[in-house]
Structure formats: C-alpha cells, structure tokens
Structure 1
Amino acid sequence: MSNSFSTQEVEQIVKPLVIKIGGAILEKESALSALLAVIATLKDKQVVLVHGGGCVVDEMLAQAGFTTEKKHGLRVTPKTQIPLISGALAGTVNKSIVATANSMSLTAVGLSLNDGEMISCTLSTQDLGQVGIPQPKNSKLLNALLQCEFLPVISSIGALDNGDLVNVNADDAAVAICQLLNAQLLLLTDVNGVKGADGEYLTSLNGEEADKLIEQGVIAGGMTAKVNAALQAAQQLGRSIAVASWQSPEQITQLLDGQGIGTQIQPS
C-alpha cells in the first residue's frame, strides 16, 4: 500500500487555518468558549484568530459621546476616534479573547496587524477617515509563533508607514493574514452563510453572482464587505473561501475534512 499523499491532501495537512471572528460571538462568552474548545482539539493544525469587535467599539464610542457612521457596511473612522477604537480592539477585545483562550490551555498571544511588520497599510480612498487597506508584508513573527505552538490572536488595528494607527475591516485583515501564510480561510458570521434572492442560504457563490445580488440589494450592509473580502481571497489564492456561522463551531472540523460548509465563495 502506498503511503504517498496527493497534492490536495498535503495542502490540507500543512496549510494553517485563519479564522475571522467578530460580532455577537464576542458578546457571548459561551459561544467564544465553544469555538476555542474546538480549536483546542485541532492538535496538528496551526490556527490563527483574526477579530473585529464592532459591538464593543459602538458601545465605547457611545459612552464617550461619539456617533457611529457606516458606508457600504464599513465603519467611518474619524481621526479623533482612533484612540478609542484601537483601545477597544487591540486592548479590551484582544486581551479578553487571549485570556479566555489561555484559561483553556491554548497558549494564546495577542497581536495587532503592525506587530512584526506582518501587515502594511495604506489609507483607504473611500472617504472613510482613518481606515487602512491591508497588504501582507512579513510572515517571520507569525511563522515563529505557529512553530512554537502558540495561538496568535490578531486585532484589526494596523498602521501607516508614518506610524499613524488605522482601523482595518476585520474581514480584509483576515484575508491579508491568509495571503501572508498561504492559509485556509474561514469567515465566521452570525448567520449560516450568504442568502440568495429567494431568501435561502447559498452553498456556493462566485463574483458574477455576488455582483448581481449586491446590485439588487440582496447582499447588503456588513455582508457586502465580507463577501467582497472572500472573493478577493478566493481569486488571489485560487481556492474557495468559506463563510459560515459561529453558532456551529463543529463545522471547523468538517471544513478541514474537505466538506463544504456555509457558503463557499468561489474564485472566477
């Protein structure tokens, strides 16, 4: 009997898994713990968590007397709000996830996009204020952490070349980390995937189909940004990207077993 593996099987074995979390999972300790419990079972898999935390940001901004504005599902970030937003994401949210992971013996370490020059950022041209567009730059730090069996937990706060902090859409941040590591990518959301025009969840979605659904208003708000990020990753990596629900964390193992979960965003 041959002990050789196919190229696809080898890729499934060696590729890290980048998981993006945010939204309600960060408000429900039991949901986060359930996800981390599944990650703890993946003994031979290198995992990176990338997180947003818009709900926490909204609450902290409101307490400080600021209002929240979004365009096409993306947060508008005035420069005056950056200290609060970076403190919420890179501080409160990041360290809470790390603490929970470490309480479950996962040996997590908290990072931001600029640590180790992992990700470089340029300022968005979409009139969103201090919002950064991320690009992969240096994988040395992440590779070292993964080889030493740490669980990197990365907030979506980056920096421009001049040192100014920027807020990065967490889905875009996860895509950049995925590209940096040539990893698998799972975008977890509050729903079971992307809905079509009939209101049913789609098993797969390509760029042409997505454009039509966005134009029709079927895909809207935060899901627009998520789908666009997934399409970018699928195109650049040449493989499908899963958009699935955090409410079924066991789907992670199904994904690693090669099963289609949620909505599979397909490259053109």
Structure 2
Amino acid sequence: MKPLVIKIGGAILEKADALHQLLSVIAKLQQTENTPVVLVHGGGCVVDEMLAQAGFSSEKKNGLRVTPHEQMPIISGALAGSVNKQIVATASQVGLNAVGLSLADGNMVSCTLNPNDLGAVGIPKAQHSKLLDSLLKADFLPVVSSIGMLTANEQQAGALVNVNADDAAVVICQLLNAQLLLLTDVNGVMDDTGRYLADLTEQHASELIDAGVISGGMTAKVNAAFYAANQLRRSIAVASWQAPEQILSLLSGADIGTRIIPSNAA
C-alpha cells in the first residue's frame, strides 16, 4: 500500500474535536487498512497569535506568509514546537505512536530561499527518505512541521526557514512517491457560482484565479496541488477535514472534495 500524506492547516487546530476525529480515522487507516500515513501541518492561526503577542504584525502576499528573519525564532517555535507537539499529544490519545519532526530532520528536505521577496521563506526539495521509511515501517505516525533549513550552498547555510505547508506536503509526497490529500476547512474548490467542483484542470483553475474566484490561501493550495499532480502524474484530492471519515472512501476510489487533474491527463 502506498503511503498517504495528509496535510492539515491551522484552522483544525482551533477545533480539538475535529483534530481528535481526524487522528482517529488515521489510526483506523493504520490498524485496519494497513495504510502508512504521514501528517504534514501548518499552523497559521497559532503563528499569528504568537507574533501578535511579541508585538509583530503578519503580512501575506498571494496567500503566502512574508517571514522577516527576526520573526523566525517565534515562527519555528510555534510550528515545530507548540503546534507539532499538540498534534503529537492528541495522536497519543487515540493510540497512535506519533513522532514530531521538521523538514530539516534526517536530511529529508533541503531548502533554498524563495526569490519573491518573502524573507526567510524556503523552497523545499526532496533529499532522503530513510528516516520516514524507517518510521513508517515501524508503524509510527510522522508528524512533520513546515520548518526547513537552507542548504550548504546558500549564503545563510543552516538557517531555519518557513515553508508553505502545502509545498511541504508536496515535497514529502515526492519523497515517498505517496498519495496526497490536502485538507482544508471547505469541501473543495468552488466555481464562480459557489458550487464545489468535482474536478479541476489547470486551465480552468487559471481562469478562476484570474477572475478572482480562487484567491488568497486557496490560490497557494491549488497551485501546490497542481505542482504535486504534475510531478507525480496523478490526481490530488482537496477536501474538508470536517468530515474525516471521507478519507476511507477516498482510498476506496470514491470521489470526495475536488480532484486536481494533472496536465498530462487533461
């Protein structure tokens, strides 16, 4: 069975019951479906709160967080610390053997600086899967935060960087040649009438982005999903974490949420 990479954002962390239900479904996947799972997370709401407490403001460009270098200690502490360990602790309550990681651990992923004037924001590249392979083989649930490290050939080699959580999920998916499920707080991607789309091609997505129908964080999510779909040459599901039992149906071949169609299949 191919591993399943599930990405969650910060919104689910504000709803303890929803996180508990999702992790219960993951436990069922491991125990009854024999499906290895890796959970990749962001945590924007927690980051915003901690930055505000420290007197910083938050800024985004096209749905991506601008990360001044002086904010990285707070952001890495929020994501790789508070958020990551909260998920690990909740996972243990449902019988999962969870291990908290960052993208930098085990030389899994290397990063270069994003050139789009976003500050300490990294573009991730898959490196070595040995750590994740070992954990999955031993029935652990890796919980990976979207904090990476700059590569040796970068001017600030070894510095920690913030990685968009959707991009982090994509690179972990590439690392393991896994299936990918991007979970959000809505049931998928909507068209200009407010109807959820069963599937979405890159051309249609571009039209919806140009028209402002897809905007903000959903733009980043859709772009990451198409990147993953095109790299992996298979479709990617974008669905809601509010109905985690759907994940079982997804693995059985049912259509849930919006299925992102790779360009080679369009």
| Shorter-chain TM-score range | over 0.9
Which amino acid counterpart does residue 40 of structure 1 have in structure 2? Answer: A
Q: For the residues of structure 2 that align with 1:48 and 1:110, how far apart are their CA atoms?
A: 11
Q: For the residues of structure 1 that align with 2:93 and 2:17, how far apart are their CA atoms?
A: 13
Counterpart for residue 173 of structure 1 = 168
- Following superposition, the deviation at residue 198 of structure 1 comes to 1.3
Q: For the residues of structure 2 that align with 1:190 and 1:151, how far apart are their CA atoms?
A: 22
Which amino acid counterpart does residue 77 of structure 1 have in structure 2? Answer: T
- Following superposition, the deviation at residue 104 of structure 1 comes to 1.5
Of 19, 24, 35 in structure 2, the residue corresponding to residue 37 of structure 1 is 24
Q: For the residues of structure 2 that align with 1:146 and 1:113, how far apart are their CA atoms?
A: 16
Counterpart for residue 8 of structure 1 = none
Deviations 1:136-180 (A, max 9, x none): 110000000000000000000000011000000000000000000
Q: For the residues of structure 1 that align with 2:39 and 2:158, how far apart are their CA atoms?
A: 24
Of 204, 207, 221 in structure 2, the residue corresponding to residue 212 of structure 1 is 207
Q: For the residues of structure 2 that align with 1:209 and 1:136, how far apart are their CA atoms?
A: 29
Q: Secondary structure at the match of 1:158?
A: strand
Which amino acid counterpart does residue 21 of structure 1 have in structure 2? Answer: I
Q: For the residues of structure 1 that align with 2:100 and 2:144, how far apart are their CA atoms?
A: 6
Q: Does 1:242 align with 2:229?
A: no
Q: For the residues of structure 1 that align with 2:193 and 2:10, how far apart are their CA atoms?
A: 25
Counterpart for residue 94 of structure 2 = 104
Equivalent pair of 2:238/2:260 in contact (CA under 8 Å): yes
Of 187, 191, 213 in structure 2, the residue corresponding to residue 192 of structure 1 is 187
Q: Does 1:94 align with 2:84?
A: yes
Equivalent residue pairs, number: 255
Question: Structure 2 unaligned runs (5+)?
Answer: 152-156
Of 122, 135, 152 in structure 2, the residue corresponding to residue 145 of structure 1 is 135
Counterpart for residue 154 of structure 2 = none
Counterpart for residue 119 of structure 2 = 129
Which amino acid counterpart does residue 50 of structure 1 have in structure 2? Answer: V
Which amino acid counterpart does residue 41 of structure 1 have in structure 2? Answer: K
Of 227, 250, 265 in structure 1, the residue corresponding to residue 260 of structure 2 is 265
- The alignment yields a C-alpha RMSD, in angstroms, of 0.5
Q: For the residues of structure 1 that align with 2:99 and 2:57, how far apart are their CA atoms?
A: 32
Counterpart for residue 39 of structure 2 = 49
Moved over 6 A (4+): none
Q: TM-score, normalised by structure 1?
A: 0.94
Counterpart for residue 202 of structure 1 = 197
Q: For the residues of structure 2 that align with 1:197 and 1:119, how far apart are their CA atoms?
A: 37
Of 94, 104, 107 in structure 2, the residue corresponding to residue 114 of structure 1 is 104
Counterpart for residue 226 of structure 1 = 221
Question: Structure 1 unaligned runs (5+)?
Answer: 1-13
Deviations 1:172-221 (A, max 9, x none): 00000000000000000010000011111100001111111100000000
- Following superposition, the deviation at residue 78 of structure 1 comes to 0.1
Q: Secondary structure at the match of 1:20?
A: strand
Equivalent pair of 2:10/2:41 in contact (CA under 8 Å): no
Instruction: Out of 38-47 and 220-229, give the one that drifted further.
Output: 38-47
Q: TM-score, normalised by structure 2?
A: 0.95
* Identity fraction in percent: 71
Q: For the residues of structure 1 that align with 2:128 and 2:190, how far apart are their CA atoms?
A: 36
Q: Does 1:27 align with 2:14?
A: yes
- Following superposition, the deviation at residue 23 of structure 1 comes to 2.5
Deviations 1:203-259 (A, max 9, x none): 000111111110000000000000000000000111110000000001110110011
Q: For the residues of structure 1 that align with 2:46 and 2:229, how far apart are their CA atoms?
A: 29
